[in-house]
Structure 1
């Protein structure tokens, strides 16, 4: 019993740190402690499950998703840290909005010079997180690193993307809900395996912007709660060497740029 409680407590604390790191400045003071990730009840039938997927997809905000970049297919992004490359295969087939947002921000140079503000390896390997544009300025308040996102210069508003998770075997992702809240018992197509790349967010499902993280180990307790959009295919040893405060030298789309489709607005 003590071992089970210990594992639960570790998962609870790790999920909490990930959620809070994805907040924007206005949300930091308002967020309560996150609840732990628990298994969805297994009594859901296959027919109910299929209905839930359909309803959740149709209830998503089409105006929001239509205005965002999409990646129709796959792309390769090379992130260079301290002179060493990390190759990421970005999967727009299973996460078109999340992958499109990331590739678009790479092309805009948003990640160049940003800091990995959170590195969690204890009590067990967890994540390396970065992507806050505020961290580009070494004179900025370091206490705010990890609270910001990409601000569109055309609107002066922070771009937010919906939580996007595609259940295994389904044609379309669901938006704006975790798999648990959508009562989906199927696992996601893109899972938190070691080397997964996913979006950080606050407790609000549709709050992801530019911050992302690398999974340092298999993190199955995050599956269905955070949007994975790709995997490290080369350079995971570089990821393992990243320390808090290290900067991204550059991020570049090396293949698949033609698969990026810009939003309608």
Structure 2
């Protein structure tokens, strides 16, 4: 009986994830990025990201907003799929509910992964961003979910967007496969 309960707990709890492996390909970046997830800082957000990754929802999703010297944003599982209408990329989320903010005192430094949201602090859903450089103005304003531990060279190569909003023109780089690691 104990083995059955233990097996069920492992299957039912994506919060056991310790990280993500993100295979990126495109005109700019080609390679793998490893992210350690901070389930002690943002357990609800880590659970949501882990569940979406385990379900394959992030596979084929583009980096739709990339601002040089700032960050690369991805994770729109609704409208951000490769081959979709890129004009809508960044406006969607997932079929899961939005999350309440889990702000912390963890600083937005290079390689930090944070949750994207609308103006409402409790509106994060599936989209996330990776910092190219420190962004102290984000500290305490957006939920930190993890840190890149390997592959920052791949992140640095992600195709940049244009204009103030960083919209990627043409074919954006894509998360080919996102895998949950333990």
TM-score by length of 1: 0.56
How far apart, CA to CA, are the structure 1 residues paired with 2:147 and 2:50? 14
How far apart, CA to CA, are the structure 1 residues paired with 2:24 and 2:82? 17
What's the C-alpha RMSD, in Å, of the aligned pairs? Answer: 1.6
For residue 130 of structure 1, the aligned residue among 60, 70, 74 is 74
Give the match for residue 78 of structure 1.
21
> Does structure 1 retain, via aligned residues, the 8 Å contact 2:20–2:180?
yes
Give the match for residue 175 of structure 1.
none
Give the match for residue 249 of structure 1.
176
Segments of 5+ residues of structure 2 without an aligned counterpart are 1-12, 160-167
For residue 111 of structure 2, the aligned residue among 162, 185, 195 is 195
Equivalent positions of 1:171-190 (< 5 A) are: 188=105, 190=106
Output one character per residue of 1:150-198: Cα deviation in whole Å (capped at 9) or x when no partner: 114xxxxxx21111113xxxxxxxxxxxxxxxxxxxxx1x220100001
Output one character per residue of 1:59-90: Cα deviation in whole Å (capped at 9) or x when no partner: xxxxxxxxxx7736x60210010251100000
Give the match for residue 143 of structure 1.
87
**Residue 231 (1) aligns with residue 152 (2):** no
How far apart, CA to CA, are the structure 1 residues paired with 2:87 and 2:65? 12
Give the match for residue 215 of structure 1.
131
How far apart, CA to CA, are the structure 1 residues paired with 2:21 and 2:152? 12
For residue 120 of structure 2, the aligned residue among 200, 204, 209 is 204
TM-score by length of 2: 0.80
How far apart, CA to CA, are the structure 1 residues paired with 2:109 and 2:67? 16
Structure 1 runs (4+) greater than 6 angstroms displaced: none
Q: How far did 1:101 drift?
A: 1.1
Q: How far did 1:137 drift?
A: 4.9
> Does structure 2 retain, via aligned residues, the 8 Å contact 1:70–1:92?
no
Equivalent positions of 1:2-151 (< 5 A) are: 71=15, 75-82=18-25, 83-121=30-68, 125-133=69-77, 134-138=79-83, 140-151=84-95
Higher Rg: 1
Segments of 5+ residues of structure 1 without an aligned counterpart are 1-68, 153-158, 167-187, 256-265
Richer in helix (by share): 1
Q: 1:212 and 1:88, CA in 2 relative to 1: closer, same or farther beyond 3 A? A: same
Give the match for residue 100 of structure 2.
162
Helix, strand or coil for the counterpart of 1:105? Answer: helix
How far apart, CA to CA, are the structure 2 residues paired with 1:251 and 1:137? 14
How far apart, CA to CA, are the structure 1 residues paired with 2:94 and 2:63? 16
Helix, strand or coil for the counterpart of 1:136? Answer: coil
